[in-house]
Amino acid sequence: MLQTAFFTVSWGEFIPELLNGLLTTLKYTVVGFVGAVILGMLAALMRRSRIAPLRIIAAIYTEFFKNIPLLVIVFVIYFGLATSGLKLDAFTSGTIALVLFYGAYLSEIFRAAMNGVDRGQTEGAQALGMKGSAIFFHIIAPQAVRLALPGMNAYLVDLLKGTSILVTIAAGELMAKGQVIAAKTFAPLEVYIVIALIYFVLCYPVSQLLLWIERKVHRGDPLFPGRKRRLSKIRRELADTYNVTTAVMRRVP
């Protein structure tokens, strides 16, 4: 017979620990995702390079880290490198593991997004005399970002949840704090249910916010007030120009 007692933990005394774990989790998420985006973009550009060695290096990196578990990467960096004399702290080890793992997936998303931009636009830009860097930043990148948003959003939330794996190296994130509280209170069911609810309260608004941004970008709506004002001004000027042109055309016999 299952006997369970809920609300036996005095959560008030553990709030500082939970807040500290939450802030650490957010720190891992921000640093890990920014690093993964940078590494993923670099790998995607290398995969599109005309230089064969760069393509091969990027392909090896992507395929290798896509096909091994995140936990193994964490253990190799934290425990494995220590046996070779390179001792890294938990935060550095965890962040590097997250960057390497999610960077491999994001590189594929970025590469697919850049390949999804119609080549005719690149050829048209070249015909207008634009150089390679200008074509990338003004033609390819804006459209590729829009195409990559769904995948980026999904992996950001996945990375946020994936930080819980770092409990295995006592990284001080939310799951590690939950483990400590469970050991102190001998109420693992209640503690881990509360930790799960905290993750939900954290991840659900983030996923909905990212979905809202994604929809606005796909509709072409401006995200910032300054850009919205500039677009409104341009529309008014275009409307005025159209009205003036139409009036002139009507006067022409």
Q: 92 and 186 share a domain? A: yes
d(CA 85, CA 90) in angstroms, rounded, equals 15
Q: 27 and 126 share a domain? A: yes
Tens digit of each residue's pLDDT (9 = 90 or more) over 4-24: 556 788 888 899 999 999 999
Please say if the pLDDT value at position 147 is more than 90. Answer: no
Predicted confidence band at 247 (pLDDT cuts at 50, 70, 90)? low
Q: 232 and 146 share a domain? A: no
Q: 121 and 180 share a domain? A: yes
Q: 186 and 242 share a domain? A: no
Q: How many domains does the chain have?
A: 2
Predicted confidence band at 1 (pLDDT cuts at 50, 70, 90)? very low
Mark 6-33 as b/e (b = at least 16 C-beta within 10 Å).
eeebeeeebeebbeebbebbeebbeebb
Tens digit of each residue's pLDDT (9 = 90 or more) over 191-233: 999 999 999 999 999 999 988 888 887 776 665 566 566 666 6
Please say if the pLDDT value at position 253 is more than 60. Answer: no
Average pLDDT of 235-243?
Answer: 70
Nearest C-alpha neighbor of 165 from the set 249, 239, 248, 69: 69
Please say if the pLDDT value at position 27 is more than 90. Answer: yes
Q: 231 and 196 share a domain? A: no
CATH number at residue 202: 1.10.3720.10
Work out the number of other CB atoms within 10 angstroms of the CB of residue 71. Answer: 15
- Is residue 8 included in any domain, yes or no? no
Predicted confidence band at 116 (pLDDT cuts at 50, 70, 90)? confident
Please say if the pLDDT value at position 2 is more than 70. Answer: no
Q: 183 and 86 share a domain? A: yes
- Is residue 62 included in any domain, yes or no? yes
- Is residue 177 included in any domain, yes or no? yes
Can you give the pLDDT at residue 225? 60
Tens digit of each residue's pLDDT (9 = 90 or more) over 33-92: 999 999 999 999 999 888 999 999 999 999 999 999 999 999 999 999 999 889 999 999
Token code pair at residue 64: 């290798």
Q: 252 and 228 share a domain? A: yes
Q: 251 and 210 share a domain? A: no
Residues in Cβ contact with 96 at an 8 Å cutoff, skipping those fewer than 6 apart: 77, 88
Please say if the pLDDT value at position 179 is more than 70. Answer: yes
Token code pair at residue 33: 């995702």
- Is residue 210 included in any domain, yes or no? yes
- Is residue 1 included in any domain, yes or no? no
Chain-wide mean pLDDT for the chain?
86
- Is residue 92 included in any domain, yes or no? yes
Can you give the pLDDT at residue 124? 78
Predicted confidence band at 236 (pLDDT cuts at 50, 70, 90)? confident
Average pLDDT of 186-194?
Answer: 92
Q: 216 and 228 share a domain? A: no
Q: 89 and 213 share a domain? A: yes
Q: 56 and 148 share a domain? A: yes
Instruction: Give Dmax over CA atoms of the chain in angstroms.
Output: 96
> Which of the pair, 242 or 48, is modelled with greater confidence?
48
Can you give the pLDDT at residue 227? 57
- Is residue 145 included in any domain, yes or no? yes
- Is residue 3 included in any domain, yes or no? no
Work out the number of other CB atoms within 10 angstroms of the CB of residue 193. Answer: 13
The full DSSP string for 169-221 is GT--SHHHHHHHHHHHHT-HHHHHHHHHHHHHHHHHHHHHHHHHHHHHHHHT-
Domain with 137, as residue range(s), is 13-221
Dihedral-angle region of residue 107 (phi above 0 means left; psi in -120 to 50 means alpha; beta otherwise): alpha
